Amino acid sequence: MSSAESSKTGASKAAADVAETEPVAEEQKKKTFAELGVIPAICEACETMGFKNATEIQVESIPHALGGRDIIGLAQTGSGKTAAFSIPILQALWDNPQPLFACILAPTRELAYQISQQVEALGATMGARCATIVGGMDMVSQSIALAKRPHVVVATPGRLQDHLENTKGFSLRNLKYLVLDEADRLLDMDFGPIIDKLLQSIPRERTTMLFSATMTTKVAKLQRASLKNPVRVEVSTKYATVSTLSQYYLFMPFVQKDIHVVHLANEQAGQSILVFTRTVHDCQRLSLVLRTLGFPAVPLHGQLSQSARLGALATFRSGGRNILIATDVASRGLDIPAVDLVVNYDLPSNSKDYIHRVGRTARAGRSGKSVTLVSQYDVELLQRIEKTIGKKLTLFPAGADKETISLLEERVGDAQRAAVRELRENGAGGAKGAGKRKRRMNEDRAGEGMDRDDDVVQADFKALGRGSGGGGGGKKKHKR
């Protein structure tokens, strides 16, 4: 495995300041965690969790991290990044146990909970304690959890900053490890100013690991500000989708999108289906349309309460409902192990987000398929996506024909009207919302009105100077 000093003169490239690069061979002998230098207690936990061999990102990053090096890891979703940073932290904790040893930052609440679960499972044999600090949950309960001085804190940036500013006795002055997971997503969601503040609240002498699906200019800037002489590990040198994923498209008028989703749900009955929408409104509305027609659909978006979001994920994972309608809040990092079909109801405005969305299926060597609905407004976006992934999408062979569309049109129309009525009655639409439907369609096509996690909304307020540690005032005070 070769290692080369990165050139400081290559500033035009996003990763130019990374000290070392560790490219991963396409084919390499599988290694056990013991062969990587992991202690028996953690190897035992890995075996209990079903981790027989280390993944590529783990093979390349864990030995460096065990040696105390800063790491910048670039890997696709589902590559095993969580264990790649959790195992070195837990092994260092084994050698030097102390409270508030590590802090892991995640862009969304769901991902934070998922990371916490894996850290606790990997550290089960050594009694590692983990606290999850995210928006949408009671700050007092979180303050009590922090007062118990856990070994690892997993947090969204906005709520962590709240506690650093407002929770008496809580600080990260003795922190040994910092992890920035899904760093590109953290920065895309405007957490940059809060992360800058957090970096000023923790020791300069620490080990930092930054993991990202993509290397962007923003990520490179954050890397320069937060890491020292890091080792760079890549398991994918280009934006790509896995070979076991069959990618299809369906072309249709904008007004027929609901009909085609209903047809797909009917044709794929019994399979797990993840449908991505761009806006909260479409997420709610489409889930109501499907439920009205008898399909077991559940919505997931950033404006649901935390308990509702966790409940939606749990119901989908358990198979209680096999159709999840989600905004991009759910598109990265979430552990939904067996999705048969991903449907892009709206095309994402960012081509890389397409990769993260369809990455929910065909994981760990399994086969899967995705179907992207393309309206007359989406052709340019589709072409951009195809250019990014280096392949053309194939026309879906099992799409609805004219006769099927005609048969479904009336039933779907009735369900759409019923969904709108329910949204109004529940206060999600109202006369004001009804008056904006035409404008909403234009906003959806323009990429506006996208789902935003409450943590992100509050980060915006802080960046604009419209809120302080209390969270921008009003009802939002404890909703970050």
Q: CATH number, domain at 343? A: 3.40.50.300
Cα-only R_g, the chain: 23
Domain boundary residue, one of 202, 234, 266: 234
Residue 41 has pLDDT above 80, yes or no: yes
141 and 252 within one domain: no
186 and 325 within one domain: no
pLDDT confidence of residue 460: 45
308 and 194 within one domain: no
Residue 237 has pLDDT above 70, yes or no: no
The answer as to whether 298 is a domain residue is yes
Q: How far is Cα of residue 222 from the mean position of the Cα atoms in its chain? A: 19
Model confidence band, residue 469 (pLDDT cutoffs 50, 70, 90):
very low
pTM of the model as a whole: 0.64
Q: What are 450's strand-pairing partners?
A: 279
Distances (CA, A) of 262 to 258, 368, 430: 6, 19, 25
The answer as to whether 282 is a domain residue is yes
363 and 442 within one domain: yes
The answer as to whether 470 is a domain residue is no
Domain boundary residue, one of 179, 202, 234: 234
Model confidence band, residue 54 (pLDDT cutoffs 50, 70, 90):
very high
| Bigger pLDDT: 441 vs 202 | 202
Model confidence band, residue 337 (pLDDT cutoffs 50, 70, 90):
low
pLDDT confidence of residue 253: 95
- At 411, list the tokens: 């039933």
Dist CA 61 CA 325 (whole Å):
35
The answer as to whether 149 is a domain residue is yes
Phi and psi, residue 12, nearest 5°: -70, -20
State the DSSP H helix or E strand holding residue 72, giving kind and residue range, or none if neither: strand 71-74
The answer as to whether 468 is a domain residue is no
* Average confidence score pLDDT of the chain: 82
250 and 203 within one domain: no
293 and 209 within one domain: no
Instruction: Indicate if the alpha-carbon torsion angle 242, 246, 252, 255 is positive or negative.
Output: negative
The answer as to whether 463 is a domain residue is no
Single-letter amino acid code for the residue at 99: P
Residue 458 has pLDDT above 80, yes or no: no
Q: What is the pLDDT of residues 381-428, one digit of tens each?
A: 999 999 888 889 999 998 999 999 999 999 999 999 999 999 998 875
209 and 345 within one domain: no
- Is-contact 218 186, C-beta < 8 A? no
pLDDT confidence of residue 296: 94
- Domain range for residue 113? 4-234
- At 284, list the tokens: 């709610």
The answer as to whether 461 is a domain residue is no
The answer as to whether 464 is a domain residue is no
Domain boundary residue, one of 234, 265, 294: 234
56 and 192 within one domain: yes
249 and 198 within one domain: no
Residue 82 has pLDDT above 50, yes or no: yes
250 and 230 within one domain: no
Q: How many domains does the chain contain in total?
A: 2
134 and 43 within one domain: yes
349 and 269 within one domain: yes
